Chain A
């Protein structure tokens, strides 16, 4: 569901992963889909997970199923540019906390004032 690799590897892998999920969406019975999954996934229990768990999860979404985020460089001698690639909708804790705008910005203050006026009038 989530993996930490060099950025170049993750970027290249993203296209293949999304196309594999598109193939899996065609269904279990499709001969070509099964051959593709068999070739790409060397761990055969993951084929089962692909068709039974991931394909229904991404059925409503038409497009991107993965998220690519950069990480500080690798600690070893090579200082490689690392990235985390994860499937959306995974059960692990989220990597990015969505930050809401602070209450003290001008727009938010004006909106707050407008809300209070509306409540007083009602």
Chain B
């Protein structure tokens, strides 16, 4: 700036850069795979401890990425009868089941107008690679209703490129409301027992009201059904951290 006095302008130091501490935020948001959490029961915790050790051993050798129900994955398994001895399948994860080493996930895709669902085991040695093409969450934990939805919601390109994701950002929640094929469905998804939020119900009002007849409002107040996993999760996270650092 031209000075009015004739003296050189007063030195103004540049504004200090604002350092956003990303590391502490990253520590708090940690993903714990749901198969690590032991189910509620009277079995010896030793069994779960041994299983966890085996799971960690497998994870050290083979990387199982973080994914949720509703994210698109590509899995290559070993196939003795294929030309390349490997088989690649791309699909959307509709459910994750099982605990411990038997943890499974079901991938769904529609190939040449035929819906295909394959249930893979996470810790199976036949799996050679798992790649997350699109990491996102959906409104429900179980997307089995995609079987009764229009096929366009389950089709995913087999040669899809992985969607680039900003590192360590929030996982996007896809609030997609899926349109269904005309009734009859394989399960009565409008009933409150399934508690589905991701369907755009185009049923008439009286049908929706009739479905509410099966609602059990006392179920949310039933205290003995609750399973508080916060302390268990903390212990397991600590264990995982220690083991993976070795």
Identify the A interface with B (CB < 8 A): 15-16, 19-20, 23, 35-36, 39-40
The answer, yes or no, to whether B18 is at the interface (CB within 8 Å) is: no
Contacts A/B (CB < 8 Å), 15 sampled: A15-B223, A15-B224, A16-B223, A16-B224, A19-B223, A19-B224, A19-B226, A20-B223, A23-B223, A35-B221, A36-B221, A36-B223, A39-B218, A39-B221, A40-B221
Chain A residue at minimum C-beta to C-beta distance from B224: A15
Residues of B within 8 A of A19 (CB): 223-224, 226
Rounded to whole Å, the gap between the CB of A31 and the closest CB of chain B is 13
List of B residues within 8 angstroms of A23 by Cβ: 223
Interface residues of B in 196-246 (CB under 8 A from A): 218, 221, 223-224, 226
A23 — nearest CB in chain B belongs to which residue? B223
Q: In the assembly, what is the distance between CA of A39 and CA of B219, in Å?
A: 11
B215 CB → nearest A CB, Å: 15
Q: How far is the CA of A36 from the CA of B224 in the complex (A)?
A: 12
A15 contact set on B, CB distance < 8 A? 223-224
Beta-carbon nearest neighbor of A18 in chain B? B223
A40 to B226, CA, bound (A): 16
Question: Which residues does chain A contribute within 8 Å of B224, judged by CB atoms?
Answer: 15-16, 19
- Collect the chain B residues with CB atoms within 8 Å of residue A35's CB: 221
Which residue of chain A has its CB nearest to the CB of B217? Answer: A39
How many angstroms from the CA of A19 to the CA of B218 in the assembled complex?
Answer: 16
A26 to chain B, nearest CB (A): 12
Residues in A whose Cβ lies below 8 Å from that of B221: 35-36, 39-40
* Shortest CB distance B220–A (Å): 9
Chain A residue contacts of B218, Cβ below 8 A: 39
Chain A residues lying within 8 Å of B223, measured Cβ to Cβ, are: 15-16, 19-20, 23, 36
In the bound assembly, the distance between CA atoms of A36 and B218 in angstroms comes to: 10
Q: How far is the CB of A89 from chain B (nearest CB, A)?
A: 22
Q: Please report the C-alpha to C-alpha distance between residue A35 and residue B222 in the assembled complex, in whole angstroms.
A: 12
Q: In the docked arrangement, what's the CA distance between A20 and B226, Å?
A: 12
> Measured between alpha carbons, how far is A39 from B221 in the docked complex, in Å?
7
Q: What CA separation (Å) do A15 and B222 show in the bound complex?
A: 11
**Closest B residue by C-beta to A15:** B224
| CB closest residue in chain A, given B218 | A39
- Which residues of B have CB within 8 Å of A39? 218, 221
Residues of B within 8 A of A16 (CB): 223-224
A35 nearest in chain B by CB position? B221
8 A-B pairs with the lowest CB-CB distances in the bound complex, closest first? A19-B223, A39-B221, A15-B224, A16-B223, A36-B221, A16-B224, A19-B224, A20-B223
A36 to B226, CA, bound (A): 13
Q: A17's closest neighbor in chain B, by CB?
A: B223
A100 to chain B, nearest CB (A): 37
Give complex CA distance A55, B221 in Å: 19
Cα of A39 to Cα of B218 in the assembled complex, Å? 9
Most chain B CB inside 10 Å of its own CB: which residue of A20, A39, A40: A39
B218, B221, B223 pick with most chain A CB within 10 angstroms: B223
Bound together, the chains give a CA A23 to CA B224 distance in angstroms of 12
Write the nearest CB–CB distance from B229 to chain A, whole angstroms. Answer: 16
In the complex, how many angstroms separate the beta carbon of A20 from the nearest chain B beta carbon? 7
Cα A36 to Cα B221 in complex, Å, equals 6
For residue A38, which residue of chain B has the nearest CB?
A: B221
